[in-house]
Amino acid sequence: MEKSIVRRELNLSELELAGSIHPILKRVYAARGICKQDEIQRDLKGLISAAELKGIDGAVELLVTALQQQKRILIVGDFDVDGATSSALGVLALRKMGAQHVDYLVPNRFEYGYGLTPEIVDAAETHSNDGPPDLLITVDNGIASIEGVNRAKEKGWQVLVTDHHLAGDLLPNADVIVNPNQIDCPFPSKSLAGVGVIFYVMTALRTKLRSLNWFEKNAIDVPNMAQFLDLVALGTVADVVPLDSNNRILVHHGLRRIRAGLCRPGVKALVEVSNRKLNRLVASDLGFSLGPRLNAAGRLDDMSRGIECLLTDSDWQAKELALELDSLNGDRKKIEEGMRQNAMESLQNISLDELALPFGVCLFDDSWHQGVIGIVASRIKDRYNRPVVAFALADESANEDGAEIKGSARSVPGFHLKDALDAICKRHPHLMKKFGGHAMAAGLTLDKSQYEVFAKAFDEEVRSHLNATDLIGEIKSDGELEATDFSLILAQELRDAGPWGQAFPEPLFDGEFRLIQQRIVGEKHLKMVLGVGNEDRIIDAIAFNVDLEHWPSSAHSARIAYRLDINEFRDKQSVQLMVEHLEPMNL
């Protein structure tokens, strides 16, 4: 659909940033509501105290006793990047603190589905050669696992829930719950990823153990918690949680360690197979290069392979596992492309007029792979700028109306998915078998026979919150750059000012440029040489995945929305524009 470039509103009246900061960067910060120097500090001392997390003292007490008695601990994770990094961090940290019987279990999405279900609790009983666990720790899940926690308690196990998903009206009967989004939790950052929550728990545990002289008594080196920040950064960025000031500190220091080579062998191997440079890695590389490769294991196979990649201390084993993940990601891309094309055809069958499409789009196909529907929903959401739910059969061998289907939903600004599903559930109490999620992403399960009912209810719910104007795609720009601003100095300063990400978007500028050269590289990427203003200066630019029906264009100029980036070729650096949007002019 057509999109319009809209420049961000600025409030420069309260700007109190240091004079040494580039004026363009000051403008960028102001557009993101940051006006004071302390709001951009990234020192670890600026992290919110773990003491503000509800349940943190009880969690630490539970874990201290487990270590003192060498209880059998089992971490139950999720099958996405946040779940994988959370699981790996929990296992590694507990081992560093002296746990002798700690293991992990991640549900296979095709057998057990999401979270601590009664079935995964039963599987946990025989998972380890050490015997059944004494303590279950959930990471990146558990806040909605009412039945699963009850099953674990029936077996006499202790349960510590660490999660970040929105809590429902009913909480699980766990021994302790640590979740910044549970009711009455005073922790001011509600945007912690699951890996951030378990990092805080382990950090608080380390502090308590030091006060008990645990490490000296057991001849254990006191672990430096910063060694786990590479995992925190990867899980936080890949889970697309808002990068508030607290998350920016965590991601900034995780990236610093990765660039310095002070990261897990698995992280280093994922960087290598992604063809990224370790010392130049930025947050977007975590989200768009490393994350998808790790995610591919959970989408198509078993996330245990991804967790093992993060756990191993062996460089060669990490490289082998990373190559397997890279291959799985290639398979995922092929499956996704077929599903995306199928989805586009389905939408065209609904109407050739985009304005007549449902406000809330639901798509389902018997042949779709449930591991990829989330990505397809995201792609369609980006294409049509409206909330999307993509469904696939929960059991690919079942195709009757009584079969269950699983949906993965993605939203646009202004429409809260979890609240919407809550509202639909209240109006149609028996429609969805289960659901959960965030404002921008959610999942649900229902009977295949109820698909049409849900599709109608979802569209009605979206229409009650959004109007036609809300569905017009906008590209938010930080304004225009002068010819003198196209410099390596500014490009580097913008890069260093991050980490950029969700709710703290990377600077995007716009302007009109002369089209001097255009050519297709790869399959559908447009390489351009642009003329800047009325001057003789030229600059390189590249736009990925362009519409080959319209580009290269006969136009003499174009309006372009772009990121100012640095291109490295044969050890030489030059400014390059990474084009996000381009409109031909002067046809």
The predicted-structure confidence for 166-179, as pLDDT tens digits, reads as follows: 888 899 999 999 99
User: Is pLDDT above 80 for 37?
Assistant: yes
Mark whether 436 and 500 lie in a shared domain. Answer: no
Range 211-230 average pLDDT: 97
> Of 428, 450, 471, which residue constitutes the final position of a domain?
471
Q: Are residues 569 and 460 in the same domain?
A: no
pLDDT at 134 over 70: yes
440 with 360, same domain: the answer is yes
Which residues does 326 contact at the CB level (< 8 Å), separation at least 6?
273, 274, 293
So what's the pLDDT on residue 180? 97
Residues 269 and 172 in one domain: yes
- Do 514 and 564 reside in the same domain of the chain? yes
Q: How much of the chain, in percent, has pLDDT values that exceed 90?
A: 69
Q: Is residue 370 part of a domain?
A: yes
Where is pLDDT greater, at 110 or 517? 517
Rounded average pLDDT over 27-36: 89
Cis, peptide link before residue 499, omega less than 30° from 0? yes
Task: State the DSSP string of 407-472.
Answer: EEEE--TT--HHHHHHHHHHHSTTTEEEEEE-SSEEEEEEEGGGHHHHHHHHHHHHHTT--GGGGS
CATH number at residue 500: 2.40.50.460
Q: Bridge-partner residues for 575, per DSSP? A: 566
Are 508 and 484 in a shared domain?
Answer: yes
Q: Is residue 31 part of a domain?
A: no
In a domain, 3, yes or no: no
Domain boundaries, position 515: 477-585
302/225 same-domain check = yes
Q: What is the DSSP letter of 144?
A: T
Answer with the one of 327, 342, 368 that is the final residue of a domain: 327
Judge whether 62 and 176 are in contact, CB under 8 Å: yes
Q: How many domains does the chain have?
A: 3
Find the helix or strand (DSSP H, E) in which 404 lies.
strand 404-410
Ranges 35-49, 226-240, 304-318: which has the least confidence:
35-49
User: Is-contact 285 328, C-beta < 8 A?
Assistant: no
Do residues 56 and 187 both lie within one domain?
yes
Task: Say if residue 198 is in the same domain as residue 314.
Answer: yes
**d(C-alpha 405, C-alpha 135), whole Å:** 33
Q: Are both 181 and 72 inside the same structural domain?
A: yes
Is 351 a residue whose pLDDT tops 70? Answer: no
pTM of this prediction exceeds 0.85: yes
In sequence order, the β-bridge partners of residue 501 are 504
Three-state SS annotation for 175-212: CEEECCCCCCCCCCCCCCCHHHHHHHHHHHHHHHHHHC
Task: Report if residue 24 sits inside a domain.
Answer: no
Give the model confidence (pLDDT) of 136-150 as tens digits: 999 999 998 999 999
Q: Are strands 525-532 and 538-543 parallel, antiparallel or unpaired?
A: antiparallel
Q: What tokens appear for 224 in the block?
A: 């430096």
pLDDT of residue 352: 43
Is there a domain that residue 37 lies in? no
In this structure, are 164 and 299 located in the same domain? yes
Residue 116 Rama label (left phi>0; alpha psi -120 to 50; beta): beta
Q: Domain of 205: which CATH number?
A: 3.90.1640.30
Band (pLDDT 50/70/90 cuts) for residue 354 is low
pLDDT at 62: 98
What does the pLDDT read at residue 434?
Answer: 85
* Residue 193 pLDDT greater than 60, yes or no: yes
How large is the average pLDDT for residues 1-16? 77
Question: Does residue 117 sit within a domain?
Answer: yes
Backbone torsions φ then ψ of 367, nearest 5 degrees: -90, -5
| CATH number of the domain that residue 459 is part of | 3.10.310.30
Domain assignment of residue 426, yes or no: yes
Choose the final residue of a domain: 420, 452, 471: 471
Residue 40 lies in a domain: no
User: What's the angle, vertex CA 536, arms to CA 531 and CA 538, rounded to 5?
Assistant: 40
Give the confidence band of 355 by pLDDT, cuts at 50, 70, 90.
low
Q: How confident is the model at residue 587 (pLDDT cuts 50, 70, 90)?
A: low
Residues 190 and 52 in one domain: yes
- The CA distance from 187 to 42, in Å, is 19
pLDDT at 372: 86
Contact yes or no for 447/405 (Cβ under 8 A): yes
Q: Name the pairing type of β-strands 557-569 and 572-585.
A: antiparallel
- For the record, the structure tokens of 338 come out as 């077929």
**Which tokens hold the place of 130?**
């050490």
